[in-house]
């Protein structure tokens, strides 16, 4: 099997010699066994999954009703509202949304919502860029993970920092929702909430002439 017959000519029994027991080679042809081995390897490689699924953790607030006077109000100067709508478009405006002012339209590209989120976070939180510095130090092993996380939480919890309200209408896709949460991770914005869309927002989307319907 694994060799080419090179004995040359047929077997010619020699005459006049004493009949002797033929010496048999103890070599076994391994080729079929290798074939089988690799076939099984291929099978196992294709049918099994090595990697565990990855997941993104999200926390939503408890939805038990709290009395009106105990609700924490956020300052309009801190708040940014992001509305996810159809055709992969984002509408955003600043303020809580009692009266929608100057809504802007952007998209999910790096130059779109990510740049805006970073700019706004920097504007409101003077030490915002330190998170990236701490992250680099942590990655190069200069500081411990606990120290990095503590600093990160401290900076993200800055009292005048940006608070993002994420709302999605019925036309938004699941991808949009995951993308915006991913942007929150990428831009190190720790304070965001997923909120139900308000009628005024829906009306604004409905009447906005610049949105692709």
Footprint of another protein (CB under 8 A) = 2-4, 6, 27, 29-31, 33-34, 37-38, 40-41, 44-45, 47-50, 52-63, 84, 168-179, 181-182, 185-186, 194, 196
Q: How many residues in the chain?
A: 213
Nearer Cβ to another protein (78/184):
184
Nearer Cβ to another protein (18/26):
26
Shortest distance, CB of residue 61 to another protein, whole angstroms?
7
80's CB contacts (< 8 A; 6+ apart) are 92, 93, 94, 120, 162, 163, 164, 165
106, β-bridge pairs: 90
Shortest distance, CB of residue 171 to another protein, whole angstroms?
8
104, β-bridge pairs: 92
Single out the residue of 78, 102, 81, 76 nearest to residue 92, CA to CA: 81
Nearer Cβ to another protein (2/24):
2
Shortest distance, CB of residue 126 to another protein, whole angstroms?
26
Residue 26 token pair = 């103890």
Nearer Cβ to another protein (2/73):
2
What does residue 103 show for φ and ψ, rounded to 5 degrees? -70, 140
């Amino acid at each position: 099997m694994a060799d080419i017959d090179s004995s040359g000519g047929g077997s010619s029994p020699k005459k006049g010699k004493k009949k002797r027991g033929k010496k048999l080679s103890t070599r076994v042809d391994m080729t079929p066994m290798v074939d089988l081995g690799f076939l099984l390897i291929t099978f196992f490689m294709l049918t099994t999954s090595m990697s565990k699924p990855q997941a993104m953790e999200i926390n939503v607030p408890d939805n038990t009703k709290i009395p009106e006077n105990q609700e924490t109000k956020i300052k309009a100067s801190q708040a940014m509202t992001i509305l996810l709508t159809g055709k992969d478009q984002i509408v955003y405006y600043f303020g809580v949304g009692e009266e929608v002012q100057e809504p802007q339209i952007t998209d999910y590209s790096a130059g779109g919502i990510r740049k805006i989120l970073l700019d706004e976070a920097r504007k409101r939180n003077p030490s915002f860029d330190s998170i990236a510095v701490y992250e680099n130090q942590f990655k190069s092993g200069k500081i411990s993970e606990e120290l990095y996380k503590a600093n990160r939480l401290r900076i993200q919890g800055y009292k005048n920092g940006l608070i993002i309200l994420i709302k999605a209408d019925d036309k938004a896709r699941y991808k949009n929702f995951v993308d915006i949460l991913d942007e929150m991770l990428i831009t190190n914005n720790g304070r965001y909430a997923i909120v139900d869309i308000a009628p005024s927002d829906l009306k604004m989307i409905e009447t906005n002439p610049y949105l692709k319907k």
